[in-house]
Structure formats: structure tokens, C-alpha cells
Structure 1
Amino acid sequence: MTPADLSLTVLHAVRRAVDDGALRVEVPPRIKVERARPGGSGEYASNVALTLARSAGRSAREVAGIIEERLRDAPGLRGVEITGPGFLNFTLRGDAGSEVVRAIRAAGSSYGHGTALAGTTVRFAEVTESRAALVTEVVERLLRSQGADVSTRAAGGGERVYVHPGAYEAERFGSDAARWALLRAAPHDRPLDGGPLLAQHERNSLFRVRYAYSRVRRLLVNGDQLGTAPAYETSVHAPALLGALGDHPAVLLAAARHRAPDRLARHLEALADALLAFQHTVLPLGDEKPSAAHRSRLALAEAAGTVLAGGLSVLGISAPDRI
């Protein structure tokens, strides 16, 4: 992990804290990290918590703690320590990509599922409005992915997910577009218009996510034809993609806690965009010979495809091999 990668990782953590409502600040455009001073803790340090403390209305150490909590599982970081009035100090791992790819291969489409909400029991009230029913269904799936016990809906009462009403128009737009239209917007916002979601265009967020997955499937086929199989053998420089993959477990947990499937949908968009920007570097071009670098990039792309498919599955949306 380079200093630039670390800066981006910390920025992602701040943005998640703002999205979660833990911090009420304007997300800075960039975050400065620098080598720790001789005798200091860790390899790198940042004063971001001190710079945000005043606008957050909290002490710098409180802000640092909020950021540190969202960095605990970040790929490439061995440890984060808070020192002094609120400095964040970082110790790096050797290769973040290797850890992420290994974790995703081990978990498959369940990558990011966990037990953070184990012991929590949630019962939802029975609902009839179509968008409320769909959002509740996906929230239940999110909660179960984090270990919560979600009991069968009952007419006698229970928790309600409040939404801006919207019709589930599967017959008109197809199931996938109809679901994305209702889930991509925050529950309290108006749902998306289903018509534009049928267009195969980069402005169509659903198309970009599913197209990114289909590109991974094509890369794997093309790699096989070149005799290149996915195998993470050497470090890959892809901070945006690695950051999005590393964020996935925290996004799933936040989406479950906040009853907000739109958080997962927006995260899948960010992951897809990072993957689409990365895809052109994966396989050999021209007279290039397949190498460890290509095999490693293909392994990272394959991992991203696995996460995209898993996330879409949680939303109840298909991930086609071809578009």
C-alpha cells in the first residue's frame, strides 16, 4: 500500500462515517498522510481527526475513534492506533490485494457476511404497499447476512420500514429493473424511473453494475483462451478497486443496521465503476506475453465479479454472464 492508497483508504473511512451518520462533517477532497516521525507509533500518521473535530462538534480523539472503527478490516492495514490529542497512526501489511482475493475466494458470494448482529432479533410488521414490502424483504436478507434472527412477519405488529410509496412494475420493466428502481433510491426518496433502466448506456446505473459483472466473465473466458488462469501471485496497483472490495463487509453491515438497501446498491455502483476502469489492464495486449501480473489482475477482477454477483443476489437482482 502506497501513501496515496492509504490516503484513499482513510478518505473512504471518513465517507462511510458520514454516510452512517456517525460524523456530521463535509467530506474533505483528500486526506494527508505522512511518514511517522522517528520514535513515533506506526509507519504513517494523519491529523485528519484534528482537522475535522471542530466542524464535527466532537473531540479529536472521538473523531479518531470513529474513523479507526471503520479502518479495522481495511485491506493493507495491519493496525491503527490513536495517539496524543487524536493522531491516527498506521502500520501496513505487505500486500492488501492478496488478503482480499484470498478472503473473497474463501467466502464466495457470502463475502462480507458476518456475525456482528448475532443475538439480535428483529420482527417486521406485515406490509402490503409494494415498495415497502420489497424494501422490507431485502432488509431482512441484509440482517440475516449479519447474523440477526429475523422472525416471520406478523399482522400483530413489529418494526416498519418507512418508504416513499412506489409501484413494483415487473410486468412493464422486468423484475431486475423494477427492483433496482425501488431499491437504488433511499427509502424515503422517490423511486427511480424504470424506463431509463432498460437502456444499455453508461448513465444507467443498473446496466453498469451488471455489465461490469459480465465483463469479468468475458475476461475469464478470454484468459482461458490465452492460457491465463486467475492466480494472485504479485502485488496489483488498483487502490480504488481494492478499497471498494475492502469496504464491502462494512457496507453490508451499515445497510442492515440502517435498513437501507440503497447503500448496498450505491456501493455496487462504485465497485462496478472501479472495475470497469481497471479491466483494460487485466489481460495481455498486442505482443505481450501472459505473466504473473496478468494472472494476478485476473484474480482480482474475478474477486470483484464475485462480490458484484453476491451483492446483486442480496438485492434479488440477477447477474447475467452476457449483456
Structure 2
Amino acid sequence: MTPAQLSATVLAAVRDVFLARGLDPAALPATTTVERPRNPEHGDYASTLALQLAKRTGVPPRELAAALAERLGQEPGVKSVEIAGPGFLNIRLDAAAAGELARVVVEAGTAYGRSDRLAGERINLEFVSANPTGPVHLGHTRWAAVGDALRRILTAAGARVDSEHYTNDAGLQVERFGESLYAAATGAPTPADGYGGAYVADVAATVAAAHPGLLERPAAEALAVFRDEGYAVMLAEMRASLERFGVHFDVWFSERTLHAGGAVEQALETLRAQGHVYDADGAVWLRTTDFGDDKDRVLVRSNGEKTYFAADAAYYLSKRGRGYDRCIYLLGADHHGYIGRLRAIAACAGDDPQAHIEILIGQLVSLLRGGEPVRLSKRAGTLITLDEIVEAVGVDAARYSLARSSTDSPLTLDIEAITRAANDNPVHYVRYAHARICSVLRNAGELGLYRGTDFRPGLLAHERENVLLKSIGEFPAVVATAGELREPHRVARYLEELAGEYHRFQSTDECRILPRGDEAPTDLHRARLWLIEATRTVLANGLDLLGVSAPERM
């Protein structure tokens, strides 16, 4: 019996109690949940439903709990129900009902953990959104790992998610990048506020090689080629780096298209029609202070030049126009000021900022090697690149380590610590648990021992087996909560707890999985193969949600 099935059983039982007592069924919730008690002595699962309903019905909570306990005790698979405190229900399942979860997980396979919790919601998830003026760096890398994990988790929770990269390929920074490339190609000094690093010379050389005689052309013409071609080269490098990191974007959105296609002008008209655009001092303004922003924002300067904010407004309206119910922005630590202004854009457009837009801010990340800060990139100058991180620690260690901590706090990663093959390294600990199970299953096959189809779940009666089953049962709720709260690290921390429960189970002599010596295989051995295969399935599914591989050998 899964926690979800038990929750449904509890709700059905309380409906029967209401019917028998003549209570108003309108007081019943549409759904309920059960939770694992912190103290295992209090049972397998606990329900607070009687407490919740007591106020609505006027029935004393312990009286309602007693009626519900009596009804629940009649359900197949429920071993006992005890009342605790003011009306808590502590529920114990019999071994057969608890062990049946292993069959559910194994038969569900890769689908286990998925739900329809967010079904019907269409989400645009924007993250990384690096300027095409340099390599993907360490700051982008954290959002690449977290953003892609969040995409996978939201999808697993039933949402329809499109991941999107917004490319700032219009404006002053692109012009400066083109000037920097031209300077590198001609041997001139890097312009003020330009871009340095060996990668600039590399890109300049690539552009020049693709256009023989380019440096003999008029400076303005050559500059335009370096700007446009250099941007294309850099963008291709960014996409390749992210793909190597396992991050694929459904949409690569160009800021240039907003201007070229008239989307910015259309956005201004839409916002003006909503009554929030006004003219002052020769400029065009959006009255964002009406919706909590600290000041009104300029859309068009007095010289007729459109601002970045105008493009931001057009971009948000583009997303909503493409049919997304919710637009989630994952932004860097230096973008706190965007929270108010983006929410104000949504409000000015007639949307509900609580429902249609969400801005998540990630804190900085730094790297150590042997306790010392990692030196800056030879190629990127002032940056540490994604490719260098992957080369140093690998994709799996990088993605897991970046996704396992809340983005609310700065993160420091020690290269030696996250690549060490030791139990105090979380990514190794979790992946090793999966590999260890695969090894046991291979050994079982060599002994001619297989799960088969005759599974006897009631044999899984040991305390360690029960704890492992309950841990496995939590996975769907963990995934759903991680999606609802936008916190992929919950999946990682859960996997570490599950790996710990497996290692404790496997090291318990009374829970031997394989027969010893001349011992003949029994139904208990086969039942435990079902249990460890269910554990392996959950570990693999959880790692996949983080974009991390689940090795069969380590």
C-alpha cells in the first residue's frame, strides 16, 4: 500500500463515518495526506484528519478520531490504528500491505514518482540567459544545473514545461563585443569597457578566417561582421557547452527579434491601452509604482531610444502571448531589482503577479581546490567557465553538487571533496548505493536467483525492511513538493536519506539478500530482491530528475 493509497483509504473511511453520523459531507476535504511519524514507535503513518474536521463538525476531536480509527481498522492491510494526543491517528500496516509497495515501484519503473499534481499548467521556465559575449561561466553553471533539474521535476509533477534561454543579442554589450573582436584581430588595445580574455582572440581569429580580406574592408563594415559573426560563434559555443552539461533548451529566444518584429512597439501599445503608460520630460514611462515598484520605469528615452525595460516588457508579453500560464524566471544574485519591475510589468499588462509570473534569485557559487580558491580561467580571464568545471569534476559531480543546496544561500564547492570516492561525498554516496544494488542483482543472477513473478510481500517483516519501504514510499510526495516549492535540492537530500536507509538495511545480518554457501534460495530471498530492485528504481529515477547518471558499476 502506497502513502497515496493509504491517504485515499483514510478519506474514504471518514466519508463512511460522516454518513453513519449524519454529518455534513461538505466539510470533507477533496484530498488528505498521511505522514511518517518522526518516532517509528508511533506507527508507520499518521493522520491529522480528525483534528482538522473537529472544528468544522463540532464533534470533539478524540471522539471523531475514535470513530475513524474503528472504521480504518476494518480496512484490509491496516494492522492497527491508535489515537494519540488530542486526536492524532497513528496507523500501522501489516507486512503484506507494506511490502506490496515494492511491487508497485518495480512495475511502475521509470514512471514511479510522477504525478498529475501540476497537470494542466503550462510553464515557461527561463534560466541561464547568458549574454553571447563570453563563455558560460560558474554563475551560469549553478542555474544550468538547478534550472534543468527544476524543468525535469515540474514535468514529473505533471506540468507542461518549456525551458527557454533569452539571448541578450541587442544593445550596447553586443556592440562592445564586436569592437573587442575587431581590436583583437587588428592588434589594437581592448576598448574601454570591452571584453578581454584569450577567448576573444580565438573568436576574432575564427571570424577573420571565415572572411578572407575582412581586415582590408572599411572599419565600420568590418566591425559589423565581427559583431554579428562573433556573436554567432559565441552562441554556438554556449549551446555546445550546455549540451555537454546535459542542458537542452526547448527555445532559444533572441532579443533582436523583439525589435525587428515590432514586438516592442506592440507591447508599448498594449501597456498604454491598459492605462499605465504616460509621457513626461519627452520620454515614455510605465507607471510601475502603482504595483509596488520603487520608481516608474522609462520605456523610451527622450532621444527616442528604447530601454532594456521596454524589451523586458515585450518579452514577458511574448511569453504570455505564446500561451504560458506561468512564467518563471531564474535570475542571478545581481538581479534582485528585477523582482519588483517584472512583477509590475505583469500587473500593468492586466495579469495577476501572484499567478502568472515568478522570479527566483540564486546566490553566488565559488570553487575551492584543497581549501584554496580556484584560479581564474586562462581562456576567459576573469571567469571560470562551465567547460573547465566539467573538466575538473565531471558532469555528474557538478550537477548534483550544484543542485543539492538551496539557491537562497551562497555555495562553495571544493573540487577535491565532490570528486572523492567516499561516503562523506553525497554524490558518490547516492550513486554508489545504486551501483551496489546492481552488483547484488548481478550476483543473484550468477547464483540463479531471480525475483520471478511469485512475490510474497508479507515476508518483508523486518524493521529495516519496513523502514526502507516507507522511505521508498515518500518519493512521489518529495517530487511533487520539490516542484511546487521550486526546490530541486529536496530530491537530492531525499536520495541521500534513501541511500543511507539502503546501506543500513544491506549491512544488517538478519536482512541478508543472497543465500550463503549451500543455502537454498527461499521466497524471502526473492522478496528482498523485489525490495532492492524497488530501491534501485527510486534512486535511478531521482538521479535522473537531477540530470545525474545512475551507474551500474563504480
Give the TM bin, normalised by the shorter chain: 0.7 to 0.9
Match of 2:148 in 1: 137
User: What amino acid does structure 2 have at the position aligned with 1:247?
Assistant: E
Question: Quick check: 1:132–1:165 contact (8 Å CA) kept in 2?
Answer: no
* Distance (Å, rounded) in 1 between the aligned partners of 2:45 and 2:146: 42
* Distance (Å, rounded) in 1 between the aligned partners of 2:405 and 2:499: 18
Question: Quick check: 1:229–1:298 contact (8 Å CA) kept in 2?
Answer: yes
Question: Quick check: 1:209–1:308 contact (8 Å CA) kept in 2?
Answer: yes
Call closer, same or farther: CA 1:97–1:300 in 2, change over 3 Å.
farther
Match of 1:16 in 2: none
* Distance (Å, rounded) in 2 between the aligned partners of 1:144 and 1:88: 34
Q: CA deviation at 1:29?
A: 5.8
**TM-score, scaled relative to structure 1:** 0.72
Question: Quick check: 2:472–2:538 contact (8 Å CA) kept in 1?
Answer: yes
Structure 2 SS opposite 1:270: helix
Question: Quick check: 2:150–2:487 contact (8 Å CA) kept in 1?
Answer: yes
Match of 1:119 in 2: 120
User: What amino acid does structure 2 have at the position aligned with 1:261?
Assistant: P
Call closer, same or farther: CA 1:304–1:28 in 2, change over 3 Å.
closer
Q: Deviations over 1:124-171 (max 9, x none)?
A: 234332212321111111001011121342642432232223365212
Indicate which of 385, 388, 391 corresponds to 1:171.
391
RMSD: 3.5
Q: CA deviation at 1:83?
A: 10
What does residue range 21-170 of structure 1 map to in structure 2 within 5 Å? 30=39, 33=42, 86-88=87-89, 90=91, 92=93, 95-127=96-128, 128=130, 129-153=140-164, 155=166, 156-157=315-316, 158-160=327-329, 161-166=360-365, 168=386, 169-170=389-390
Instruction: Specify every segment of 5 or more residues in structure 1 that has no aligned partner in the other structure, as ranges.
Output: 2-26, 35-42, 51-59, 65-75
* Distance (Å, rounded) in 2 between the aligned partners of 1:92 and 1:240: 12
Q: Percent identity?
A: 38
Question: Quick check: 2:127–2:143 contact (8 Å CA) kept in 1?
Answer: no
Question: Quick check: 2:123–2:161 contact (8 Å CA) kept in 1?
Answer: yes
- Say how many residue pairs are matched: 269
Q: CA deviation at 1:81?
A: 10
Q: CA deviation at 1:279?
A: 2.1
Indicate which of 186, 194, 217 corresponds to 2:415.
194
Call closer, same or farther: CA 1:44–1:299 in 2, change over 3 Å.
closer
* Distance (Å, rounded) in 2 between the aligned partners of 1:81 and 1:143: 37
Structure 2 SS opposite 1:150: strand
**TM-score, scaled relative to structure 2:** 0.44
* Distance (Å, rounded) in 1 between the aligned partners of 2:80 and 2:112: 22
* Distance (Å, rounded) in 2 between the aligned partners of 1:305 and 1:214: 9
From the CA coordinates, give the structure whose radius of gyration is larger.
Answer: 2
Q: CA deviation at 1:199?
A: 1.1
Instruction: Specify every segment of 5 or more residues in structure 2 that has no aligned partner in the other structure, as ranges.
Output: 2-35, 52-60, 66-76, 131-139, 167-314, 317-326, 330-359, 367-385
Q: Deviations over 1:95-125 (max 9, x none)?
A: 2444212211221122110111101222223
Indicate which of 528, 535, 545 corresponds to 1:297.
528
Moved runs in structure 1, 4+ residues, more than 6 A?
Answer: 43-50, 78-84
Match of 1:248 in 2: 475
Q: CA deviation at 1:45?
A: 8.1
Q: Deviations over 1:44-95 (max 9, x none)?
A: 9889998xxxxxxxxx89xx9xxxxxxxxxxx66998999953325373552
User: What amino acid does structure 2 have at the position aligned with 1:148?
Assistant: A
